[in-house]
Amino acid sequence: MKCMTVIDLQGNVYEPTYPKRAKGLVKKGRARFVDENTICLTCPPGEREETVMMSNSETKAPMNLTAAQIFEELKQIREDTSYITLAMEKLEKVPTAPASENEACVEKIAAIQKIVQEREETNQALIRLYEKMYDDVYYTAEQEADAGA
């Protein structure tokens, strides 16, 4: 079975993983595809990315983020276009080929398109998460204001 290369944002290489596991990491937002055989972890192993589960009695937003912090996270998502730049650079390197070799070029272009599309889906999922977190912060603050009035 073919293995996927695993790297982090600094370029450190980790143990390879199976394609099914790589897809699961991407789907859950823990990694993104760099190319068809490589994934980049959003949080290196050993660092905890998941939110600590809270008891049902707590009404604070996960990770205790403020609205300003949530907006800063959203700003970072908006400003991170490096994956698009990288995709464009890779597209520029795809040679124009005669009709006999066109299939390989089309496959490369499709792989690059898939990477960008999956990154956009990840960004959309993060935005939905931050929307929910903002609602938690906003409504918790509103409830506390009502209780104090």
Cβ–Cβ < 8 Å for 118, 26: yes
Tokens 């496959």 found at: 107
The structure tokens listed for 88 are 């464009």
Lowest mean pLDDT among 24-28, 52-56, 140-144: 52-56
Rounded to the nearest 10 degrees, the angle between the axes of helix 82-93 and helix 102-148 is 180
Cβ–Cβ < 8 Å for 49, 30: yes
Q: Give per-residue pLDDT as tens, 1-20.
A: 578 999 888 778 888 999 99
Q: In what helix (H) or strand (E) does residue 15 lie, and over which residues does it extend?
A: strand 13-17
Q: How confident is the model at residue 45 (pLDDT cuts 50, 70, 90)?
A: low
The pLDDT of residue 92 is above 50: yes
Over range 64-76, report the average pLDDT: 83
The pLDDT of residue 104 is above 50: yes
Cβ–Cβ < 8 Å for 32, 40: yes
pLDDT of residue 48: 47
Enumerate the domain spans of the chain. Answer: 1-44, 58-149
